Amino acid sequence: MSPSAAGHASASARHRRTPQSLRAKLAVSFAAVAAGVTALVGFLSYDAAARLVRVDQQAVFGEVVHDLRQQVGRQRLAPGDFTSGDPDHDGPRDDLTRPAGTVVQVLGPRGAVLDRGNPALPVDTAARRTADATAAGTVVEDDDVEIHDDAYRMATVALGGGRGAVQVAQEFSDTEDLLRELQKRTVLFAGAVVVAAGLFGWWLARRITSRLVRLAETAEVVASTGRLDVAVPVAGGDEVGSLGRSFDRMLGRLARSVEDQRRLVQDAGHELRTPLTSLRTNISLLRRIEELPPAAREELVADLAEESRELTDLVNELVDLAAGKEDDEPVVEVALAETAEDVAALARRRTGRTVTVRAEGDTAIAGRPAQLQRALTNLVENAAKFDAAGTAPIEIAVTRTSGGVRVEVLDRGPGLDEGDMDRVFDRFYRAPAARSLPGSGLGLSIVREVAAGHDGVPFAARRAGGGAVIGFTVKGAGRPAGCGD
């Protein structure tokens, strides 16, 4: 494989990988955003739920302990009042177990267990001292008591006078188990959301990039084959659709440019053959110029000069036409009335003809002065060429219209035939009556190009009383250089 072929294959491989990587990036980005949002929402939700459950349980237990302390402080209660033998279930013990399902255990003097709880609560030194306390309502709390591998919070409240104490406990390990299960399910749910978001992101990225892939494939076909007539996908009203339409317009303009270039080369080759053939013939006669009579010599030299002049004019016209819109001449403010005066003065010196200028209104536009002068010069030279008798002046009319400026050149020549009206601005077209006259057939083509470059159009018509009216309209070629906002 040649280096160029290898480079092309490598570029093609990179091109094929690009849509896949873009698709993967979009999918990963979508999943990452979903993961971040899900993790944040899940964490905040779990934290809020856990706090609410824990605080609520702790508040309920604190309220039970508070009520117990107030109860033993107001009444002189004995340990027997809290035993589980109350048949009506309306004693002080039931008041403790109803709100939160607490475990109750009754202690006698010196911490002796009188009524064991279910499960049995531990009695440590602090609990015994509380049972012997003289002040009713003395409390000792322990928020982390382990009973049979279960976690409890426990409080011991003294009955006073050394009569004993009541122990209440609330299990919270089952709540923690519930919260751990909630945490696990939250994590699983978040994972499922991330996976679903990744799959949806992949589908969405595939849907979004499918048109980009088709555009890339179209560009690859254009780059590899050079074809400009490839169908471009332009569906959709979003940025991708706009890109497709812009790419389609670009290919259309490229195709027209290539076609114009091809036609220019073909037409130029056809037009160059005639003067070149004549020059070759005359040059071959130069070898026998000494054998020719003086009159023939003069005719030969004059013919050579004329052919070389026409060839020079043709080449210059071709160069100007080929440059066309690619001209780098800056856009400035141009007063077309002044340009017409300059062109008229130049035409008077060159042809000796009377050229008048008539201007109406403000004729200033934003344009390229050299191009506009060249177009106007071509029109005046065309009028002088066809009106060879020179009996009437050539008129240049420059008038302001609602849409821009209108430039007309009026002559009293033979006028235009009906069939020539639509073709006089075509490249290399020459009317039958003009084929014997000098010229390249490109002058009016340049007028058309200059008018198009200034957002205008050329026109041609018969003049009342004989002759022709040929000109163009201009609106402007953009913002004048150096103008501020």
Where in 338-467 does DSSP place strands (E)? 355-360, 364-367, 394-401, 404-410, 458-462
Give the tens place of pLDDT for each residue, 101-144: 678 888 888 888 888 888 888 888 888 888 888 888 888 988 88
| Greater model confidence, 92 or 170 | 170
Helices (H), 75-153: 92-100, 125-131
Q: Is 430 helix (H, G, I), strand (E, B) or coil?
A: coil
Q: Render pLDDT for 213-261 as a digit per residue (tens, 0 to 9).
A: 777 777 887 788 777 777 776 676 677 777 778 877 888 788 877 777 7
Residue 482 banded pLDDT, cuts 50, 70, 90: very low
Give the pairing of strands 364-367 and 113-115: unpaired
Does the pLDDT of residue 73 top 60, yes or no?
A: yes
The answer, yes or no, to whether residue 469 has pLDDT greater than 70, is: yes
| Gap between the Cα atoms of 221 and 206, Å rounded | 21
pLDDT for 88 beyond 70: no
The H or E element containing residue 150 is strand 150-158
Q: Are the C-beta atoms of residues 390 and 410 closer than 8 Å to each other?
A: no
Q: What is the pLDDT of residues 347-379, one digit of tens each?
A: 887 777 888 999 988 889 989 888 898 888 888
Per-residue pLDDT, averaged over 150-167, amounts to 87
Residue 407's beta-bridge partner residues?
398, 472
Q: Is the pTM of this model over 0.75?
A: no
Can you give the pLDDT at residue 327?
Answer: 55
Average pLDDT over residues 49-60: 78
- Average pLDDT over the chain reads 76
Q: Which residue has the higher pLDDT, 425 or 363?
A: 363
What's residue 326's pLDDT? Answer: 46
Q: What one-letter code names the amino acid at 76?
A: R
